[in-house]
Amino acid sequence: MAELESLVTYVIRSVNGVINDRAHVVSDIKPCLRSIACHSVFDSLRTVADSQKVWSSRQLVTTLESSTDILELPVTYGTAQPPLDGRTLTPGHFIRIWSIYGLDGTWYPTISCAMTLTKLSGARNDLAHGNEPFNIIFSQPGLDVKSIERYMDEMCMLYIHFSNSFVDYIENSRYI
């Protein structure tokens, strides 16, 4: 799971950097991508007590479709790379990524791959947080050595699918 988290973080960080380097105007990008373009504004709204600042930020968000500001997508180090949250990756994270970036198709290459991610993320959390003893987790149905080998093959398909989806996204400027 750590490899997947590392890959997803790297790809999102790289994609955001490439799009930033192309110096697009905010109004030129897909509307769905504007939610991450305003990440810092939305993030600051969680802690702002000054109502004037809150309403100024809200007004800013409503004018993005006509904004002539240069787009600046977040590229972070040391904290979770938006739109990630620092938690174990689940299908919900990929659904969010596909929605925010407006990617074509589905986030998973096969249904079994989506089911595998759910199974592995649950097992990873049980192990990491000590919810179940090690021997109990790996004696559960579907967590034997042969199944885990199959899961690794399916996760490799997800790595390739995820990376290829973003290569196509950047090469064909699908964010515009």
**Per the domain annotation, does 141 fall within a domain?**
yes
Please provide the average confidence, as pLDDT, over all residues in the chain: 89
**Per the domain annotation, does 176 fall within a domain?**
no
pLDDT classification of 40: cutoffs 50, 70, 90: confident
pTM (whole model) above 0.95 = no
DSSP per residue, the chain = -HHHHHHHHHHHHHHHHHHHHTT-BGGGS-GGGHHHHTHHHHHHHTT---HHHHHHHHHHHHTGGG--SBP-----SSS--TT--SSPP-HHHHHHHHHHHT-SS-S-SSHHHHHHHHHHHHHHHHHHTTSS-HHHHTTSTT-SHHHHHHHHHHHHHHHHHHHHHHHHHHHTTTT-
The residue-averaged pLDDT of 8-36 equals 96
- Express each pLDDT in 103-136 by its tens digit: 999 999 999 999 999 888 877 766 665 677 766 7
For residue 74, the model assigns a pLDDT of 97
**Per the domain annotation, does 41 fall within a domain?**
yes
For residue 79, the model assigns a pLDDT of 93
Report how many domains make up the chain. Answer: 1
For residue 4, the model assigns a pLDDT of 92
Range of the domain at 104: 2-171
- Express each pLDDT in 42-68 by its tens digit: 777 778 888 888 888 778 778 888 899
For residue 27, the model assigns a pLDDT of 94
For residue 134, the model assigns a pLDDT of 61
**Per the domain annotation, does 17 fall within a domain?**
yes
- Express each pLDDT in 78-110 by its tens digit: 999 999 999 999 999 999 999 999 999 999 999
